[in-house]
Amino acid sequence: MLADSRKENNNQSKLKPRDWCLPLLLPDCFSCSPDGSILARDSSVVGNVDMGTPSVLWNVAKKCFTVGVISLTVSDLFASIVPVRGASMSPTFNPKTNSLLDSLSDDRVLVEKLCLRKYKFSHGDVIVFCSPDNHKEKHIKRIVGLPGDWVGTIYDVVHIPEGHCWVEGDNSASSLDSRSFGPVPLGLVKGRVTHILWPPHRVSSIERKTSRNRVSPS
């Protein structure tokens, strides 16, 4: 009995204070054995492991950090997924229907950013851009006119200067666009919308719609 008691004390003495927290922090992974050692759920003894080396939690934290950095890099350089708010681009995005699914979920769209390298856009592209009036606000609209074009509006014909584009919402009655703030500098464009990714029943690519009857090239 004395020998067993000494053995138990030796096992417990090998455990560092933070080792005793494992069953509390990760109850699904670790538990306490009758002799006081820490057991993993696969019954392997952890009491003899030097917890001074990177622990399971540290490894998980490093992996999560690495994945986060990679995700942010990919998002910043190549593409991102953004929600569409409001009805200014209806029926292309957030169509007004009686469907319960449509009323509960805004569209999520894929925005590719490779187009920004040389600012190559076409008439009918749907883009994400910062508002010329408030750069913290982002809008999603469709390109109607490109640099050098003449765009007809209700009140006038507007010439689009170099380095700018004319954008409008598909739902013109509910859209704040170039008719209000004028041509948008291409430097404010953050990417081109290529696909609807959510909700699942609306997954599709984005169709280019043009207004050739309102646009005259230079």
Tell me if 38 sits within 8 A of 32, measured CB to CB. Answer: yes
**Is 113 tagged catalytic?**
no
Mapped onto helix, strand or coil, the DSSP state of residue 116 is helix
Catalytic residue among 80, 90, 113, 141: 141
Residue with tokens 């306490």: 32
Distances (CA, A) of 21 to 2, 17, 25, 35, 130: 28, 7, 6, 16, 49
Candidates 80, 88, 90, 178; catalytic one:
88
Q: Is 165 exposed, middle or buried (0-12, 13-18, 19+ CB in 10 A)?
A: buried
Give the contacts of 51 (CB within 8 A, at least 6 positions apart).
Answer: 16, 18, 19
CA 116 to chain CA mean position, Å: 18
Q: 191: left (phi > 0), else alpha (psi -120 to 50), else beta?
A: left
Catalytic residue flag (residue 205): no
d(CA 166, CA 145): 5
* Catalytic residue numbers, as ranges: 88, 141
